[in-house]
Amino acid sequence: MIDQLLVWKVRGVGTSKGRIGKLVRKLNVEILGIAKPFLGEEKMKLLACKIKLPNFISNEKTRGKLWIFWSEDYKVDWVHFSDQALHGVFMKGEYKMLVSFIYAKCNALERRKLWQELENVRVSGLPWVVSSDFNIIRNDFERVGGHPRPLQAMEDFNECIDKCCLLEVPVLGRKLSWCNGHEGLTRKLGAARQNTGK
């Protein structure tokens, strides 16, 4: 069983290395996914040493924005790479789990490619965790302020969740976890999507 998995949309590793290291140590994280590192993958080795997770991979070659780190306790069979996701079977002893790290495009048409990818990547019989930033909400109640999201984009996301037989993990703590920093009518508050798994 995977003990500690952390996925963080950091928006730039450069100024956050210390915080990431403290969080990894405090929570005994064994698998770390970072979305939007804003650094070239040549910097991954330095961060891997700092956080003591020696194995790492990115989807930079497919023009993606994901970095994944994991401990020596795991063997990983990478199933599929794309510009929006990395999918791998993590093995620890006899235990196996498919983990999909997502950083979805903001464009609804591009996200449809991701939804199809998720439907195709499932491994029958394995537990599956799908986690990170989907750049879409399931319904407009997950956000306060700003323009309503296109109904079709939300329907596409919900249809993908249903087809993949995924369940959303309930939120613990604050319901709204991010703000766009604007004031007045353009201010938006939203909920971070929790890990989705089956």
Q: In the chain, what are the domains?
A: 5-197 (3.60.10.10)
| The predicted structure's pLDDT at residue 146 | 66
User: Taking all residues of the chain, what is their mean pLDDT, rounded to a whole number?
Assistant: 85
Structure tokens at 46: 């330095």
Q: What is the pLDDT of residues 37-78, one digit of tens each?
A: 888 888 899 999 999 999 999 999 888 899 999 999 999 999
CA distances in angstroms from 107 to 38, 48, 73, listed in the order given: 20, 32, 37
Q: Once rounded to an integer, what is the mean pLDDT over residues 169-194?
A: 61
Q: Which residue has the tokens 């003990």?
A: 3
pLDDT confidence tier of residue 193, bands split at 50, 70 and 90: very low
The share of the chain scoring above pLDDT 70, in percent, equals 81
Average pLDDT over residues 97-117: 95
Torsion of CA 73, 12, 57, 6, to 10 degrees: 30
- Asked whether 33 and 7 are in contact (CB, 8 A), the reply is yes
Given a cut of 90, whether residue 100 has pLDDT beyond it is: yes
Alpha-carbon gap, residue 187 to 133, rounded angstroms: 20
Query: What is the DSSP-derived secondary structure letter of residue 165?
Result: T
The alpha carbons of the chain give a radius of gyration, in whole angstroms, of 17
> Is it the case that residue 21 has pLDDT exceeding 50?
yes
Of 8-17, 126-135, 176-185, the poorest mean pLDDT is in 176-185
